[in-house]
Amino acid sequence: MILPKNFNYQARAKNGDKEVGTIEAVDKQTALSRLKNRGLIPLEVKEKNNFNFSFKGIIDKLNSIELTAESVGLKDKYLFCRQLSSMLHSGIPIVEGLNSLAQQIENKTLREVTEDLAVEIEKGKSLSDGLKQHPEVFSNYFIKLVEVGETGGFLDQTLTNLGEYFKKQNQQKKQVISAISYPVITMLASITVLILLMVTVLPKFMETFQKLNVELPLPTKIVLGISSFMTSYWWAVLSAVVGSIVGIYYYYQTESGKEMIDGLMLKVPVLKSFILENSLIVFAKNLSLLERSGVAFLQSMEIVNRNIDNAVIRNKLETARLRIKDGINITTALERQQVFPGIALQMIQVGENTGELDEKLEDIVDFYEEEVEEKFEKMVSMLEPMMIIFLTVVIGGIVASVILPIFKMSQGMG
């Protein structure tokens, strides 16, 4: 017989009031379910005991919602989750399911990991314990969800949710690659042509003008000077370009550098709304997934906040989380940070008042995903005319600078 335990909790009532108390349950998942059944939004649930164990130590170690290692792609992860979920739902023992799954997996790394998981579980470990042995493949976020699914007895549903996440991420990745491939290739080709023009073609014109002893106009002198410098000191130019890229990259890895660059990105009009709404989707999608998996709200928000790419937005959301912990309701805390659009805040408020926050977060994702896709397509479509204008101005200017002395010579001969 499993004896009930006492859990201290903080929760938000439908009227917005914060409620603090103790609830009796056999485990944390049951405590969370009982609180939700009472119409409360659990903010934090901790077992009341005399020792210092808590989920905080685990949560503090959670690092990234990036669930895909370089050696294991999104599609491989999707198939792993979907097939294992189907086997478990059909009543197949997990060890047998993993061994069967290992024979079907094409990715060598994931196949070896799956075989190792079967061995570890045969030794008496849980699936989440086995996953912890392979941090190079499974992130702490992934492991945490599996652990919650195991504890709550809905591991198959957790794997299904993760599979859908991977599937959508894989589709979005393909769309992004498809959308930016043409502009990127065109830009690289244009830059290559421009460099070849400056270091191979223009020097020959300079030799010709020098032989003819032609007085060159100022634009021609500037262009030929740049060409001469690039030809003579190409190594310095290349070093400066590579050094700048590497310097910016490493500066961006620092906290101050990331905050400064991310802050500048939020000042670009079109890019600002795209970043804000994309961050909202990441926030709502993953917070909903954690909420549905039974993780308390404050813990869920702490995990999700760490996975917001933009440092400025991430810091504001973390400030909001701390205010929620202090007793301010969710909507007010987010509203004060002025991060998310008013419509999203209204939907969150409805979810907070009705106790259906996870559903409203999913509605936010559905509402904004299409809008973000349209903005992304708009930004990509703007690249092409911008490149055309750039090439027209630059190459046109170079051609004009070469033609000017020729035109001047023809006038003099006339």
pLDDT tens digits, one per residue of 368-377: 887 887 777 7
Residue with tokens 């005319």: 385
DSSP state of 50: S
CA distance 362 to 370: 13
The CA distance from 95 to 165, in Å, is: 24
Is 367's pLDDT higher than 50? Answer: yes
pLDDT, tens digit, for every residue of 32-91? 778 887 888 877 777 765 433 333 333 333 333 443 345 678 888 888 999 998 998 888
**Contact criterion met (CB below 8 Å) for 8 and 32:** no
Q: What is the model's pLDDT at position 413? A: 55
pLDDT at 316 over 90: yes
pLDDT at 1 over 70: no
State yes or no: pLDDT of 128 exceeds 70: yes
Retrieve residue 376's tokens: 């992304």
Measured distance CA(257)–CA(254) in Å, rounded = 5
The Cα–Cα gap between 146 and 156 comes to 9
Residue 144, classed as helix, strand or coil, is: helix
Tokens 């690092």 belong to which residue?
A: 63
pLDDT in tens, 368-407: 887 887 777 777 777 778 878 887 888 888 888 888 877 7
